Amino acid sequence: MSNSSNIIWDLQANKVTDFLKEGKRIDGRKLDEFREITVTKNISENADGSARVRLGATDVVAGIKIVPDTPYPDTPDQGTIAVGAELLPIASPEFEVGPPREDAIELARVVDRGIRESGCIDFKNLCIREGEKSWVVFIDFYVLNHDGNLFDASSIAALASLLNAKMPKLEDDKIVRGEYTGNLELSCKPLLCTFAKISNKIILDPMFAEEAASQARFSMASTEDNCLIAFQKGGSGTFNAKEVEEMAETAIKKSKEIRKKL
């Protein structure tokens, strides 16, 4: 079964490449157009913040848990974030049960960098008692359906769940379940935009068939003040300096459109 489905994806990939030769995409989108994005917030009551994001047929849920822990010795006055990605077997025939492998690790780390380096969460605000206790904001997302561009879907889901995250109430260093002291403060909204390169054409938000046809990938996180926060080049193909600059411009512009939906 799985072999025959690979052949179908190979054929789909050929179709993607043929269409792009005429500057078209198989679903009729412009080269720099996102698929339809639907954001549902608060999908889990037990989570301190949560969201489900559909990017076309790609489907990701993210949940936040904010947990008291001991701060790192080199940053005694700060809390931190921890980002985890799960590529569930639910989502795709090629995902397997087990601990995260390199694809999931890369995905989690790229989403982490966008959030961490933007400074949207002030880690000093997560300090409870210097050198003793600080909050860790766990951001975990689960891919439910893989139709390409897990990076952007996960980034949107992570930001959407952070935007409705609440700070748990603490008594004697124990969390009082169901009670909160307020919202998690966010000073900006970092978002990823991911591009794929297919026979020298660059497209935004590749779907699965487009990823199968692509030689290289580039993800860029940016914030609403037009700053670039994190990059990740993936895949075996290459980009030139001009293409990187053009993608940066598109990423800044397009992430503004997504921000309006959050």
Partner 1 sequence: MTKYEISDYVKKGKRMDGRALDEIRPIKIEAGVLARADGSAYIEWGQNKIIVSVYGPREALPKHIQNPYKALINYTYRMATFSVPDRKNPRPARREIEISKVSGKALESAVFLERFPNTTIDVFVEVLDSNAGTRAAALTAASVALVDAGVPMKDIVASCGVGKAGGEIMVDLDKDEEDAPDAVDIPIAILPRSEEITLMQMDGRLTRDELKKVTKAGIESCKKVWEIQKDALKRRYMESETEMPEETSKVIR
Q: Contact, 25 vs 31, CB < 8 A?
A: yes
**254 near partner 1 (CB under 8 A):** no
**245 near partner 1 (CB under 8 A):** yes
Strand partners, 82: 138
**3 near partner 1 (CB under 8 A):** no
Nearest residue to 252 (alpha-carbon basis) of 197, 192, 163, 196: 192
Minimum CB distance to partner 1, residue 93 (Å) = 15
**180 near partner 1 (CB under 8 A):** no
**186 near partner 1 (CB under 8 A):** no
Complex with partner 1: residue 108 or 156, whichever CB lies closer: 108
Nearest residue to 35 (alpha-carbon basis) of 12, 7, 58, 14: 58
Per-residue binding string, partner 1, 125-144, x by CB under 8 A, is --------------------
Q: Contact, 254 vs 32, CB < 8 A?
A: yes
Q: Is 68 helix (H, G, I), strand (E, B) or coil?
A: strand
**240 near partner 1 (CB under 8 A):** yes
Give the range of 20-28, 36-44, 101-109, 148-156 binding partner 1 by CB under 8 A: 101-109
**94 near partner 1 (CB under 8 A):** no
**214 near partner 1 (CB under 8 A):** no
**Residues in Cβ contact with 219 at an 8 Å cutoff, skipping those fewer than 6 apart:** 110, 151, 152, 192, 193, 194, 195, 230, 231, 232, 234
Minimum CB distance to partner 1, residue 75 (Å) = 10
Q: Contact, 215 vs 197, CB < 8 A?
A: yes
- The footprint of partner 1 (CB under 8 A) covers 102-103, 105-106, 108-109, 113, 116-119, 218, 226-241, 244-245, 248-249, 252
